[in-house]
Amino acid sequence: MYRIAIITDIHGNISALNAVLKDIKEQSIDYIYCLGDMIGIGPFSNEVLETLFDLENISMITGNHDESVLALLNNHPYPKSRVNVIPHQAWIAERLKKEYKEKLESLPRIINPTYYEKQLHLTHYPMTPVACDSPICEDPFDIAGIPSKENFSSINSLSEFSLVCFGHDHHSHQIECNSTLFFNPGSLGVYNKSYAHVMQLLI
């Protein structure tokens, strides 16, 4: 039996992250999966990344905020849908430590861990294989549309998984599509109440 924690959308909120990690430690969690958007919105990007990359029992993927900041740093095409936040993300990019830029660039968009012959699909947002290969300037995380049974049912490549965990949309979601459960624990760092979202699984 494994105890797994799913966290997502920390968005530079080091206080919320520390609170959740304290709870995770008390719950004797075996492993943590972080589903992207570690940075952006909140001001503590370096502190969040330092905390996460210092953990030994974690796997991480990138989200749209992480990749948009990297696009600015690498002078790559930036998503037109988010030009209104360029000044903010430029502020993040200017202060991001070089070591974390390189570590973010090494992260994948998808993790498919296997437990007891069952494979999970962990992503910042459900997408087709074609979208997964698209650059951030094409807004691959937004192609599927809002979280809904109709939109997720159209992604045939995910039907083989019993559980798909995602973030991006900051609200909690639990959507059943045939034999696949799509679950979003909600944003850890962007919430208007005094607690942070985290999902714990017993596998």
**Residue 201 pLDDT grade (very low, low, confident, very high; cuts 50, 70, 90):** low
Q: pLDDT at residue 199 above 80?
A: no
| pLDDT for the residue 151 | 96
User: Where in the chain are the domains?
Assistant: 3-202
pTM score, two decimals? Answer: 0.94
3-202 fold? Purple Acid Phosphatase; chain A, domain 2 (3.60.21)
Mean pLDDT of 152-159: 92
Residue 202 has pLDDT above 70, yes or no: no
Task: Give yes or no for residue 191 having a pLDDT over 80.
Answer: no
Q: At what angle do helices 45-53 and 98-105 cross, to 10 degrees?
A: 60
